[in-house]
């Protein structure tokens, strides 16, 4: 569970899982101080970190020499009817084209992406 608590200045928010904490905020245009991650940045971060970890775990378990993995994710909200996540994975190491293809397939199967592809609903307590 993540708990988000208001802080100063303005809309700065501290979020924590009880062990680690980080800061979120909004842009000055929206009245924030821009002192932390923006909420939509955290959605991008959830997918990018999941891709990175998933690819590295698979490579490690399967003896694939992926020395460095860089995952980049952007969220395009320009169309009010849909949100589009665009991702790319950069793979470094002595990898064959087949291994690169496999790791890119693995990236597309990261658990956060699979979760976000399901029907989503919200419940409030």
Write down the domain spans for the chain.
1-37, 39-116
Q: How far is C-alpha 18 from the geometric centre of its chain's CA atoms?
A: 20
Topology, domain 39-116: GMP Synthetase; Chain A, domain 3 (3.30.300)
Q: How confident is the model at residue 95 (pLDDT cuts 50, 70, 90)?
A: very high
pLDDT of residue 124: 96
Q: How many CB atoms lie within 10 A of CB 66?
A: 20
Average pLDDT over residues 77-103: 97
Q: For the chain, where are the alpha helices, taking DSSP H only?
A: 39-61, 97-108, 111-116
Rounded to the nearest integer, the mean pLDDT of the chain is 97
pLDDT at 117 (0 to 100): 95
Cα–Cα distance list, 7 to 12, 28, 37 (Å): 5, 16, 14
End-to-end CA distance of the chain: 14
Token pair in block for residue 15: 């979020």
pTM, to two decimals? 0.92
pLDDT value of position 42: 98
Mean pLDDT of 76-102: 97
């Amino acid at each position: 569970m993540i708990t988000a608590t208001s802080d100063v200045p303005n809309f700065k928010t501290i979020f924590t899982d009880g062990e680690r904490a980080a800061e979120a905020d909004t842009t000055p245009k929206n009245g924030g101080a821009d002192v932390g991650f923006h909420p939509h940045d955290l959605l991008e971060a959830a997918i990018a970190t999941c891709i990175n970890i998933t690819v590295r775990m698979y490579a490690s378990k399967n003896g694939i020499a992926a020395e460095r993995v860089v995952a980049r994710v952007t969220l395009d909200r320009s169309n009010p009817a849909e949100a589009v996540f665009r991702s790319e994975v950069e793979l470094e190491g002595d990898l064959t084209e087949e291994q690169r293809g496999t790791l890119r397939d693995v990236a597309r199967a990261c658990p956060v992406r699979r979760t976000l592809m399901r029907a989503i609903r919200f419940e409030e307590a």
